[in-house]
């Protein structure tokens, strides 16, 4: 019975004291994400009925056809955060450059920057497969009272103050961390309330699920090929099961609950990998480490990478600690 669970609002209030910057701004920021998630969820869930599926005709900075829901979700999250005057800047997968939030009446006093992939996996929308929103939050590092700069967005992932995702799937869930573990909330759409359904989520140290687009196998680095064959060998606890949804948040979420590893390696088609460091890999890596898991580019910790561009890509391996360790062993042996 969901109503027996704590609501997200109660959880945020109870845990506000645990966060060292207790101005309440972070709580307000999480609340604004909560609100935007409900609005986007409403549209995503009826996408098949209303003419908002299909490409919007534009292409985004990545050169990818923008689905109307991409554009809608982007607008909703950005407007919700701007209207609440909580952040000083926003970077989105759908925006070429970062957005300076001109809170002149507050003279740029807002402390946080948000980086967001408003609708990740959007190519799944038209085929009714789950999609997600991924967000990452930092405190600005340039002086308060001045407009935000690119440096505020190019911080290493280990400096994140919060990160999370929303999955618009069989149920809509908000999963996030402010550095004190990972908690999952399920939306009761009948009353529009998120309830704490998955407290203290953790990756099992081992797992038997591997998630990778094997269509790219021939283009993968040798170490990845060897690891995939290791997963398929008939011995010990293997073969593992292959599960790949095509939505990072969904594959990550399943692997965190059941144990597993997600890989998006580099390839000849994607020499730096496909996933974006700032608003896909860093937030998921933050959550992974908060959930006793691990995230690397095959050689080093994702959260230690110093970003140089807003939309840069990195190879990404993430999930159960012992599985990521094994993949890194193969990468080291065959690199």
Minimum CB distance to ligand P6P smaller for 139 or for 243? 243
One residue of 274, 294, 313, 321 binding ligand P6P per CB under 6 A: 274
Residue 35 annotated as binding site: no
One residue of 247, 267, 296, 320 binding ligand P6P per CB under 6 A: 247
Size of the site for ligand P6P (CB under 6 A): 9
Segment near ligand P6P (CB under 6 A), from 177-185, 189-197, 241-249, 322-330?
A: 241-249
Q: Is 76 in the site for ligand P6P (CB under 6 A)?
A: no
Q: Is 246 in the site for ligand P6P (CB under 6 A)?
A: yes
Tell me the closest approach of the beta carbon of residue 80 to ligand P6P, in angstroms. Answer: 22
Residue 213 annotated as binding site: yes
Q: Give φ, ψ of 121 to 5 degrees.
A: 85, 25
Residue 232 CA: distances (Å) to CA of 9, 25, 196, 224? 44, 48, 37, 12
Minimum CB distance to ligand P6P smaller for 89 or for 121? 121
Looking up tokens 């669970």 gives 5
Segment near ligand P6P (CB under 6 A), from 100-108, 151-159, 246-254, 317-325?
A: 246-254
Query: What sign for the dihedral angle of Cα 87, 141, 27, 176?
Result: positive
Could you give the CA distance from residue 11 to residue 13 in angstroms, rounded to a whole number? 5
Minimum CB distance to ligand P6P smaller for 251 or for 328? 251
Minimum CB distance to ligand P6P smaller for 216 or for 292? 216
CB atoms within 10 A of CB 115: 28
Tell me the closest approach of the beta carbon of residue 246 to ligand P6P, in angstroms. Answer: 5
Q: Is 121 in the site for ligand P6P (CB under 6 A)?
A: yes
Print the binding letters for residues 200-219 with ligand P6P: x by CB under 6 A, - otherwise. -------------x------
Residue 123 annotated as binding site: yes
Q: State the helix-helix crossing angle for 321-334 and 222-232, rounded to 10 degrees.
A: 130
Q: Is 120 in the site for ligand P6P (CB under 6 A)?
A: yes
Residues 6+ apart with CB under 8 A from 21: 111, 139, 161
Residue 244 annotated as binding site: yes
Minimum CB distance to ligand P6P smaller for 88 or for 245? 245
Binding-site entries for Mg(2+): 93, 117, 119-120, 280
Binding-site entries for substrate: 120-123, 213, 244, 274
Query: What residues make contact with ligand P6P under the rule CB under 6 A?
Result: 120-121, 213, 246-248, 251, 274-275
């Amino acid at each position: 019975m969901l109503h027996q669970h704590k609501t997200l609002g109660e959880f945020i209030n109870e845990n506000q004291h645990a966060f060292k910057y207790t101005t309440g701004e972070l709580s307000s920021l999480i609340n604004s994400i909560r609100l935007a998630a409900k609005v986007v969820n409403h549209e995503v869930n009826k996408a098949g009925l209303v003419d908002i599926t299909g490409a919007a005709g534009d292409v985004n900075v990545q050169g990818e056809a923008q689905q109307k829901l991409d554009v809608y979700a982007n607008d909703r999250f950005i407007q919700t955060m701007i209207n609440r005057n909580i952040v000083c800047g926003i970077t989105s997968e759908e925006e070429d450059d970062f957005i300076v939030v001109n809170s002149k009446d507050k003279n740029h006093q807002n402390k946080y920057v948000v980086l967001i992939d408003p609708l990740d996996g959007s190519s799944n929308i038209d085929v009714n497969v789950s999609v997600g929103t991924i967000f990452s939050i930092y405190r600005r590092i340039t002086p308060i009272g001045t407009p935000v700069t690119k440096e505020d967005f190019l911080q290493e992932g280990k400096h994140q103050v919060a990160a999370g995702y929303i999955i618009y799937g069989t149920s809509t869930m908000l999963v996030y961390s402010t550095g004190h573990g990972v908690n999952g909330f399920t939306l009761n759409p009948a009353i529009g309330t998120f309830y704490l359904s998955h407290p203290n989520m953790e990756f099992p140290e081992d797992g038997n699920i591997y998630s990778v687009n094997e269509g790219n196998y021939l283009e993968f680095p040798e170490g990845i090929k060897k690891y995939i064959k290791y997963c398929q060998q008939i011995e010990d606890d293997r073969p593992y099961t292959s599960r790949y949804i095509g939505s990072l948040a969904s594959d990550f979420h399943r692997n965190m609950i059941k144990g597993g590893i997600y890989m998006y390696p580099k390839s000849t088609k994607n020499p730096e990998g496909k996933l974006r460091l700032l608003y896909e890999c860093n937030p998921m890596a933050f959550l992974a480490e908060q959930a006793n898991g691990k995230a690397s580019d095959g050689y080093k910790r994702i959260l230690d990478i110093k970003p140089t561009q807003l939309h840069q890509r990195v190879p990404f391996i993430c999930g159960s600690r012992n599985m990521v360790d094994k993949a890194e062993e193969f990468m080291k042996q065959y690199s």
